[in-house]
A and B are shown apart, each in its own frame.
Chain A
Amino acid sequence: MKMIDHICIIDDDAITVFGIKKLLTSTIECNNIDAFSNGKLAIEYLSEIVANKTKLPDLIFLDLNMPIMDGWEFLEEFLKLPIADAITVNIVTSSINKEDRDKSNFYKCRTHHNITYNTKPLNKVEIEKITDIA
């Protein structure tokens, strides 16, 4: 089984977080999965890691529609962080809006990070694909 050190899930929906965790544990091995219920909490956490120069997560699952700081605002802040490594940010949204997909492409072009886009619900095949890249 593939081993991934550290995964972050940013989603305000407890069921989604549960689902992603469940899918992940059946696909790869990971001992460190963190969940954040909005972008603000996640960016605070990541900023601290950057400041302390400790290990960053390898893979981030990002919901778009969240209170306080939504997925887009998170991305905006995340791209500003001085991170040299390419981190996989997988947008997972229930939105099937074309605008959102286009917007994700726009961010993809702006960064060295690896940004992918998936709609809910995620299935095992997609999780395998995502984890394969990371």
Chain B
Amino acid sequence: MRQKIKNNDNYLIKQLPKATAYVNLNLSVAHISDSWLRDFNLSLQAIEKNSILGVFPTLTTKWKQDIDYAFLGYKNTPKTDKYFDSSTSKCWLEWTILPWYDEAENIIGAIIQIEDVTKHFLLQQKLEKLEILITVKSQIAKIGSWEYDAINDELKWSDMTKIIHEVPNDYEPNTDSALSFYKPGKNQEKISKYLDQSLKDGLHWSDKFQIITGKGKEIWVIATGKPLFEDEKFVGIIGTFQDITEDVKAQQKTKESENLLRTLIDHLPLNVFVKDLESKKILVNQSECDYLNLTSEELIGKSDFDLYDHDVAQVSRDEDLKILSTLEPMLGVETINIRKDGKQTNFLTSKIPLFNEDNDVVGLIGFSLDITQIKQKEEQLTRLINVSALQNKKLLNFAHIVSHNLRSHTANFSMLLGFLIKEKEEQEREKLLSMLIGASDNLLETIDNLNEVLEINSNPLQEKKNIHANTKIDFVKKNLHSLIKNKGAHIINNISNDVYIKGVPTYVNNILISILSNAIKFGQNKTGNKIELSADKIKGYTILVIKDNGIGIDLEKNKDKIFGMYKTFHQLEKSRGVSLYIARNQIEAMNGKFVIASKVGQGTTFKIYFNEND
């Protein structure tokens, strides 16, 4: 009977869907389901030979304990533990062990049901890990979550969401109170709009909002929300809250600093620019834009070669390279920039190397102060100083001349008159009188000369005219006809017929007569002296060159006196010196000048610079 039942039992148990085994009190397997063998990859023979404990040798002893409890008639609760399978991977097993009774309610063994829960266990573990991760992440990122259950009209906030809202942990929000945290006005309008859209159209949102916390603090959050639907029926919304106040504040601060910096550099009366290692502009201020007549966008990425005259750009690039290689700043250097359109500007420029956080040089910062006007003023001033110094010198010279010449004549008068008073002898008196007349004539001539000089210097310049050089030269030659003849001078005129000079005709007359007559007078020889005339042109001037092969002047010794009044250098009749003195005053009055090159015994080259301006 028992055998029959047993056989019957065996067949029934064999077919059980869940892995099940009946073990005898001696722990040998009485019945076992096929599912056991299948699920745990075991052979029937291997199990029948061993005790049940041999099936999972690495499983905890707790299960042996459960079997023992079952033998004693206790019902065990299901338990889980790990074991290692034949390929030594870690697996989890859940077992339920109950006592096995016969018809007479005697315990004859234990019923063991097992299940491989490895997959389940691993999923569980993963879920736990994820939950931990989310919690930590939400704490670090200050992201909280919320969930609205539309069916029960229940709103749930995560801990972090409560922290963000600065409400106690046991705070229970509802839809109205939750919305009231949004800052009244624009923020509330915005969230209401999002909610409407989400209910109507199923849209989700993510946007920046200002909320006022439970403690009354105004903070910035990113709030998101996503409606949930089941069978196209709205069931709720889930969403997140992230506190971004610090980010917003940092951003605002950065923006403010940037704004301050930008306002500052744009309103500096300086051209400010930042260049990269290739000297390409990466930042420019308003002054620099205005100076170059381009927008900031147009200037960025441009090099000096794109903006300035090539030579100027090269100078600037060389400066940049020096600074980038030596890391020494260039401070307050006067530079000249020439734009492509030719406009020249004087700058006082400083360039300093620019470093990144790692202290590597990444470019340079430049400041340029436009000093063109100052420079022009300076030049004007220098010119003015030079003019006044020259005037002063002339005046002083003139005062000396006046003093000396007038005094020397009056001294003579005084002396001669003194003699005359005492002189009794008629013949001697006659002599003294004729000397007095001579002295008086000399004085008159001197006064005439001084007058002429005064007139040149004090009256406004007479109108300049275009004078045909060769016509004038011919006129002067005619004037000096007898001198030329007497000295046997040979004048070679190389001045081409199209040369014109600008000047006051009477001045030009006197200048040419005085210089040409000097050249003729101081010939080396009695006859056959050669005088060459030529013309030249340099910026702003037409130059007449009078070159003789005469006795020359020691310029080293005489440079101060050459044009002084009554200074002569050679013992020759009529070399009174006054004509050169007047000539110099005349050429200077016309903004021209004399340049002399000479060597004793080798002749003199006299260059007359006629200014071409009126």
Contacts and interface: CB of A to CB of B under 8 A. Distances in A.
Majority secondary structure, A binding face = loop
A15 B568 contact: no
B576 to A, nearest CB: 8
A113 to B, nearest CB: 23
B407 A96 contact: yes
A14 B438 CA distance: 11
Nearest to A67: B568
A111 to B, nearest CB: 22
B567 A95 contact: no
Interface string B414-431: 111011000000000000
Contacts of B350: none
Interface size class of B (residues with CB under 8 A): 20 to 34
B408 A18 contact: no
B566 A121 contact: no
Contacts of B439: 15
B412 interface: yes
Contacts of A121: 411-412, 414-415, 418
A35 interface: no
Contact of B412 (A13, A22, A37, A119): A13
A89 B211 CA distance: 111
A18 B435 contact: yes
Contacts of B419: 19, 22
A67 B561 CA distance: 10
Contact of A15 (B416, B566, B575, B577): B416
Given A15-B435, A95-B404, A123 B571 contact: no
B400 A40 contact: no
A38 B571 contact: yes
Contacts of A123: 415, 418
| Residue from A13, A37, A38 whose CB has the most chain B CB atoms within 10 Å | A13
A16 B403 contact: no
B438 A15 contact: yes
A15 B415 contact: yes
Contacts of B403: 95-97
A91 to B, nearest CB: 14
In this complex, which of B412, B435, B566, B567 has the most chain A Cβ atoms within 10 angstroms of its Cβ?
A: B412
Contacts of B566: 65, 67
Interface in A78-134: 94-97, 119-123
Interface string B437-467: 0110000000000000000000000000000
Contacts of B568: 67-68
Contacts of B400: 95, 97
Contacts of A19: 412, 415-416, 419
B570 interface: yes
A95 to B, nearest CB: 6
B475 interface: no
Interface string B548-588: 00000000000000000011111100010100000000000
A37 B573 CA distance: 12
Contacts of B416: 15, 19
Contacts of B418: 121, 123
Contacts of A16: 408, 411-412, 415
A37 B439 CA distance: 17
B275 to A, nearest CB: 59
A68 B569 contact: yes
A97 B404 CA distance: 9
A41 B570 CA distance: 12
Interface string A11-50: 0010110110010000000000000011011000000000
Nearest to A63: B408
Given A19-B416, A95-B403, A120 B408 contact: yes
A119 B404 CA distance: 11
A15 B442 CA distance: 11
B435 to A, nearest CB: 6
A94 B577 contact: no
A67 B569 contact: yes
A19 B414 CA distance: 10
B407 A95 contact: yes
Contact of B411 (A41, A97, A120): A120
Interface in B374-419: 400, 403-404, 407-408, 411-412, 414-416, 418-419
B404 A65 contact: yes
A103 to B, nearest CB: 13
A88 B418 CA distance: 26
B31 to A, nearest CB: 147
Nearest to B569: A68
A38 to B, nearest CB: 7
Interface string A46-89: 00000000000000000001011000000000000000000000
A6 B356 CA distance: 94
A38 B571 CA distance: 9
Given A67-B566, A68-B569, A68-B571, A122 B408 contact: no
A67 B412 contact: no
B414 A68 contact: no
Nearest to B411: A120
A47 B438 CA distance: 34
Given A15-B438, A67-B577, A97-B403, A120 B415 contact: yes
Contacts of B404: 65, 94-95
Given A120-B407, A121-B411, A121-B418, 16 more contacts: A13-B408, A15-B416, A15-B439, A19-B419, A38-B571, A65-B404, A67-B566, A67-B569, A67-B575, A67-B577, A68-B568, A94-B407, A95-B403, A120-B408, A121-B414, A122-B415
Shortest beta-carbon contacts, A-B, top 4: A120-B411, A94-B408, A121-B415, A67-B568
9 contacts: A15-B412, A15-B415, A15-B435, A16-B411, A18-B435, A41-B571, A94-B411, A120-B411, A122-B415
Interface of A: 13, 15-16, 18-19, 22, 37-38, 40-41, 65, 67-68, 94-97, 119-123
